[in-house]
Amino acid sequence: MEVLIVNASPRAPISHSKEYGRLLGECLCKTENVCVQHTIALREKQVEESVVRTQTADHVVLVFPLYVDSVPVTVLSLFSKLAQIYAEKQAPFVMHVVINCGFLESYQNNTAVSIVRLFCKRQGISFGSVLRIGSGEAILGTPFQKRVEAALNKLAQSIISGEAQTYSVQMPLPKWLFIRAGNRFWLKRGQKNGLTRAQMEAEEVKDARQAKNPKNTTR
């Protein structure tokens, strides 16, 4: 059985999607006779390579982050290429998705799942299983990562067994605590760049072509 894991994150080489894809690959490889391949779908050539590889895959797992409450443009571009190649012939694979969003609630990924499902329906591609990850920007590297690994393991088993399932995982925190922890996380990242909280809270939306020295104009 060949499983192709496509990282369709706009920041593919340094993305959380890359890590989710890697962890899923490890889960899948525990089973004999499962061959896992990884591609990314960012640049045009990479998208084309991904599409070519789908032709020999039994399963394709699309891994991406939520962008503007839906699929990022990288996924739309991939859809366009897949639609071209499978316009006249049946896709040989089942499509699965792993979607992560930075918000706590994993259900905020639902619209993106529906978009992928509709694409598959329109193209005659079988749709399989789903993993919706909430707090996906923060959960890796915390004690809660084990929950993600367990969910990815369940997803791997569903892919192998052919049983379409939808799984969800998120940090088991109340919203106020997640927000407090998340805001500390972002503040630290800003501080590493020499910013204060007040500067990060700048009200103005600026144009790089107009703003010469942004750090001095955001108090």
For Cα atoms 143, 145, 37, give the angle at the middle one, nearest 5 degrees: 155
Closest CB to other proteins among 146 and 189? 189
Q: Which is nearer to other proteins, 37 or 218 (CB)?
A: 218
Rounded to a whole number of angstroms, the minimum distance from the CB of residue 52 to other proteins is 21
DSSP state of 67: B
Q: How far is the CB of 11 from other proteins (least distance, A)?
A: 4
The letter for the amino acid at 8 is: A
> Would you mind telling me the total number of residues written for the chain in this entry?
219
Give the integer Cα–Cα distance in Å for 73 and 52: 19
Half-sphere exposure of 79 (CA within 13 A, CB side): 16
| Minimum distance from residue 89 beta carbon to other proteins (Å) | 20
Shortest distance, position 104 Cβ to other proteins, whole Å = 4
- Give yes or no for a contact between 101 and 108, defined as CB atoms under 8 angstroms apart: yes
Q: Which is nearer to other proteins, 33 or 193 (CB)?
A: 193
Nearer to other proteins, 21 or 182 (CB): 182
- Of residues 34 and 112, the one with the C-beta less far from other proteins: 112
State which amino acid sits at residue 22.
R
Residues that bind other proteins (CB under 8 A): 9-11, 15, 65, 67-74, 76-77, 79-80, 103-105, 108, 110-111, 114-116, 118-119, 122, 175-176, 178-179, 182-183, 186-187, 189-190, 192-193, 195, 199-209, 211, 214-215, 218
Q: Are 171 and 133 in contact (CB under 8 A)?
A: no
Strands 35-40 and 94-100: unpaired
| Alpha helical stretches, state H, 99-170 | 110-123, 145-161
Q: How far is the CB of 169 from other proteins (least distance, A)?
A: 15
Could you tell me how far CA 70 lies from the centroid of its own chain? Answer: 11
